[in-house]
Amino acid sequence: MSVPFPLEGGCDCRAVRYRMTSAPLVVHCCHCRWCQRESGASFALNAMIESDRVLDLGEVPGLVHTPSASGAGQQIARCPHCRVAVWSHYSAAGPLVKFVRVGTLDTPDHLPPDVHIFTASRQPWVVIPPGARACAEYYAREEVWSAGSLARRAALLPRIEAWRATQRRPA
């Protein structure tokens, strides 16, 4: 399926609006218990994309720090009015990568999952389609991501490393 980019999305009250200017690096359907708890659903569907490829079209969402399984936490971007979560920033790449909630897109059907992850903890009544890529836990990036996405990640890595260096505390 050819996806027509850009794609737009936002929160329920439409105060927060955004535009994804290109395809994401990858789309995860995460079945871990943390995502189940945070979404209030049986999984979370996130499009991982460089933050500079997501343009703010409305109000800027507020960031809420929440715990994560890694212990490093995540920043969830929520509308300041209706409180809908539109994306997250995880500690590995911080503000440089957004995990956009696919369900907040105006046309979420354009971004089905590339991979189902942490299926070992999926709800037993969730049926993963035959032939869909699925992993009991996480996966080897090189086995799942496209060559183009791997190249985009390689280009982003120096910026991620520079950001991480600013996060380290002096000894």
pLDDT in tens, 16-54: 999 999 999 999 999 999 888 888 899 999 999 999 999
Residue 169 pLDDT: 64
Assigned domain for 12 exists: yes
49: exposed, middle or buried (C-beta count within 10 Å: 0-12, 13-18, 19+)?
buried
Residue 163 near residue 90 (C-beta atoms within 8 A): no
Assigned domain for 1 exists: no
Q: What is the domain range of residue 126?
A: 7-167
Amino acid at 149: S
Assigned domain for 2 exists: no
Separation between Cα atoms, residue 132 and residue 1, nearest integer Å: 15
Q: Which two tokens stand for residue 116?
A: 């189902």
pTM above 0.85, yes or no: yes
Residue 109 pLDDT: 95
Assigned domain for 151 exists: yes
Separation between Cα atoms, residue 11 and residue 34, nearest integer Å: 22
Q: How many domains does the chain have?
A: 1
Q: What is the mean pLDDT of the chain?
A: 93
Measured on CA atoms in the order 160, 162, 168, 169, is the torsion positive or negative? negative
Nearest to 44 by CA among 97, 122, 98, 109: 122
Flag whether pLDDT at 112 surpasses 70: yes
CATH of the domain at 22: 3.90.1590.10
Residue 170 pLDDT: 62
